[in-house]
Chains A and B, each alone.
Chain A
Amino acid sequence: MEVFDRAGALRAFGKEHILRATVEVFLSEVEGMRQKLRDAAQGGDMGETAHWLKGGFAALYAPAARDAAERLEAAARDGRDTSALVAALDGEMVRLSEFLSQK
């Protein structure tokens, strides 16, 4: 799945400079987002955290991370084991961060 849908994001944000500024916010916030995920894995509300992350990735047009967050949210909601999905989402966040940092 695509890490970042640049064309979709550009259509949504309207202008390159707005998209770029939003990406910069993501890059400055991503470590905090990863920490929030780790905190949830240590006994926080995983469903809420995954939903929160999913919203951000949807708005940023990051389909792979959004999908990983969605699967994690569903597993948390159903009471299934989430450890592998937490690792997968964390990996997607790193991948997205690295991808966007190169652009």
Chain B
Amino acid sequence: MPPLRVVIVDDHPVILHGLRGMLSDLEDFEVVGAASSGREALEMVEALRPDVVLMDVRLPDLNGLEATRRIKESMPEIEVVLITVSDSELYLVEALRWGASGYLTKDSSRDLIADALRSARRGGTLLSTTLVQKAFGALARATASLGSPPAGDDNGLPPLVELTPRELDVLRQVSLGRSNRAICHELSLAEVTVKKHVQSILGKMGVKDRTQAALLGVRLGLID
């Protein structure tokens, strides 16, 4: 079988170098390119047509989830395995939704990363156990924090959460893991306004933190 051709995408030079070193040392891998931003990755993937892309989730100019969506939309034969810091379980569902074939943490071993890439080429999906556990844990906490349903509301339907259009904008940004400061730049709002919106969202949703809000927002269909 020909070597598995990989493009690596990460904006951190230490990680990029480490991943390149790990994979280049394996006989059945050929690292054909390395990019440090989402847009650069798209251009590189388009030009080099690798078998698999190993991509960071948070990237400058175009995040890894959106880059994954675009790759799978225009080049569905190319597989994408996403790699993230261990507490970013929030993006797991979205990664799978956009067609990622794997979701790993940045401290994964070379063997696990290599297995994930090989599995992706075979059409499989390999997920970090830690991230899956954390994602389900966060979802369970978000569900528990809803408390008992109102009297008479025993139909099993999700609770009614009404957010204003601006709150929904903020919730979408929160779901992308952005800080208040980043959100205020993105939405052209004052930071204090963003904070108020976040507090209002947490209150209306009955959750304690931003992760729970984002997960519950996805669960309720308020955000994609």
Contact = CB atoms under 8 A, between A and B. Distances in A.
Interface of A: 8, 11-15, 18, 21-22, 25-26, 29, 45-48, 51-52, 54-56, 58-61, 70, 76-77, 79
Interface of B: 11-15, 17-18, 21-22, 25, 56, 58, 84-87, 105-111, 177-182, 185, 191, 195, 210
A60 B181 contact: no
Contacts of B182: 45, 47-48
Contact of B18 (A45, A46, A54, A60): A60
Which of B106, B179, B185 has the largest number of chain A CB atoms within 10 A?
A: B179
Majority SS at the chain A contact face: helix
A85 to B, nearest CB: 14
B146 to A, nearest CB: 23
Contact of A18 (B13, B18, B84, B108): B18
Contact of A14 (B25, B87, B177): B25
Contacts of A13: 18, 21-22, 110
B37 to A, nearest CB: 13
Given A18-B25, A47-B179, A58-B106, A25 B58 contact: no
Contact of A77 (B109, B111, B180): B180
A59 B109 CA distance: 9
A41 to B, nearest CB: 12
Nearest to A53: B12
Contacts of A25: 13-14, 17-18
B106 A47 contact: no
A11 B12 contact: no
A52 B110 contact: no
A15 to B, nearest CB: 6
A56 B12 contact: yes
Given A14-B109, A51-B58, A70 B180 contact: no
Nearest to B180: A79
B18 A58 contact: no
Contact of A59 (B87, B106, B180, B181): B106
Contact of B15 (A15, A47, A59): A59
A29 B107 contact: no
Contact of A76 (B85, B109, B181): B181
